[in-house]
Amino acid sequence: MRIGLDLRKSSDPAEREALARKADTLGVWAVLVGGGPSGTEVSEAASIAISTNNVHLAVWVDGSSEHPLTLAEEISILDHLSERRALPVIAAEPQIITRVQQFLDGSSVDGFHLVPPPAQTIVPVWDASEVTVIELTGDLVKDRVTIDAERDSGTTHLFVSWPGNIETMVRHLSTRALVNDFPQLVADLADSLPENNWSQ
């Protein structure tokens, strides 16, 4: 299971971008932005794309607020800016999500084509109703149980809001999510290392 960081709890765009940069440095799979005022989600993700290198950019958008072609164009541009890291999460009726996916796949829809096409050959478009998002407590004992339960239930991708520092989440939960026999001793040992060693 892969864990992404849900940044939507923070109301400060500068803080969200700083958290995304930190997540990128620490190897977090993805960050989730959006869900705010319609039309600003992709712009914020574009700003994060420019300041990061590896983290995937999951963007929660209201698919009913724009024409599917307009939304596909914004996602395509984000995909180029991020160098193939765009991951749209669309809250809309299934037919709208399908039309956005068709545009991104290069299909002609009602005589319209998407220009420019996205950088990815296939852009994964996720239905927001099928995306698992949870709020963690910051209590590692409780949160380990939550992560284990999600992983063992077959969840493949999980977005979490985390109240503590990201380093702790990565050491104790992101690695634990990958394997069911994660040696806790490794995370505990990492906690004893000086913090500046983590940024090297």
Flag whether 182 is in a domain: no
Q: What range defines the domain where residue 120 resides?
A: 2-139+154-164
130 occurs within a structural domain = yes
CB atoms within 10 A of CB 85: 22
In a domain, residue 148? The reply is no
The pLDDT of residue 65: 87
> How many structural domains compose the chain?
1
Q: How do residues 90-144 score in pLDDT, each as one tens digit?
A: 999 999 999 999 999 999 999 999 998 999 999 999 999 999 999 999 999 999 9
Is residue 40's pLDDT more than 90? no
- Look-up: residue for tokens 């923070």? 10
Whether 185 maps to a domain, the answer reads: no
Is residue 144 situated within a structural domain?
no
CB of 51 within 8 A of CB of 25?
no
* pTM score, whole prediction: 0.88
User: What's 53's domain CATH number?
Assistant: 3.20.20.30
∠50-64-75 over CA atoms, to 5°? 25
Mean pLDDT of all residues in 5-25 = 95
Please indicate, yes or no, if residue 42 is contained in any of the structural domains: yes
Residue 112: burial class (beta carbons within 10 Å; 0-12, 13-18, 19+):
middle
- With respect to residue 19, please indicate whether it lies within any of the assigned structural domains: yes
Asked if the model's pLDDT at residue 3 lies above 70, the reply is: yes
195 domain-assigned: no
